[in-house]
Amino acid sequence: MQFRKGDKVKIVSSVDYPQYRKYIGRTATVRHDGPDGSGLVAVQGLEFKVKERVLGYVGFAPEDLRRV
C-alpha cells in the first residue's frame, strides 16, 4: 500500500517493534512519501514536536497502518 506525505493514518498493529505497541489505535500523519529503504513509513504526531525533532519520527511497516 502506498502512502503519500500528509496522509492521515491509524496505527492498527506493531508486529516488528513491540516497543511501539503503545501507539496502537492512535492517528498520525505520514511524514515522507511511501516506505523508505528499510520498508518503514515514518509518521509524525505521536510524540511532542520537540521530541520528534530531536529523536526522529516513528516508523511502521505499511501493513501496520490504515489510511483514515
- Average pLDDT along the chain: 90
Burial class (CB in 10 A: 0-12, 13-18, 19+), 41: buried
* Residue 47, domain member (yes or no): yes
* Domain of 55, in residue numbers: 8-67
* Residue 1, domain member (yes or no): no
Share of the chain above pLDDT 90, in %: 66
* Residue 59, domain member (yes or no): yes
State the total domains in the chain.
Answer: 1
How distant is the alpha carbon of residue 1 from its chain centre?
A: 13
pTM for this entry: 0.85
Instruction: Please report the pLDDT score of residue 25 as a whole number.
Output: 96
Tens place of pLDDT for every residue, the chain, 68 residues? 689 999 999 999 998 888 999 999 999 999 987 777 788 899 999 999 999 989 989 999 999 999 99
